[in-house]
Amino acid sequence: MIIPWQDIDPDTLTNLIEHFVLREGTDYGESELTMAQKVQHVRQQLAGGEAVIVFSELHESVDIKLRRELGA
């Protein structure tokens, strides 16, 4: 289930994005970015519709996915 990012409390959204960018394997290319830059990048992807927040009822978890990965 896709959750509109606008419906999430701003502090919760920031925590969710920070958790996402801290995960091992999150790659931002050759250049090193600060945490703030990574968070801003994900926020821009959410605002632009490139990324979405997904809630899995089966796993009772929340994740951020690229829309193209979902086929949506």
- Give the separation between CA 49 and CA 57, rounded to whole angstroms: 22
pTM here is: 0.82
What is the per-residue pLDDT for 33?
A: 82
What is the per-residue pLDDT for 25?
A: 59
For 9, the token pair is 């409390």
| Displacement of CA 60 from its chain's centroid (Å) | 16
Q: What are phi and psi of 46, to 5 degrees?
A: -65, -45
Domain 2-70 carries which CATH code? 1.10.10.610
22-39 pLDDT per residue, tens? 886 556 566 778 889 989
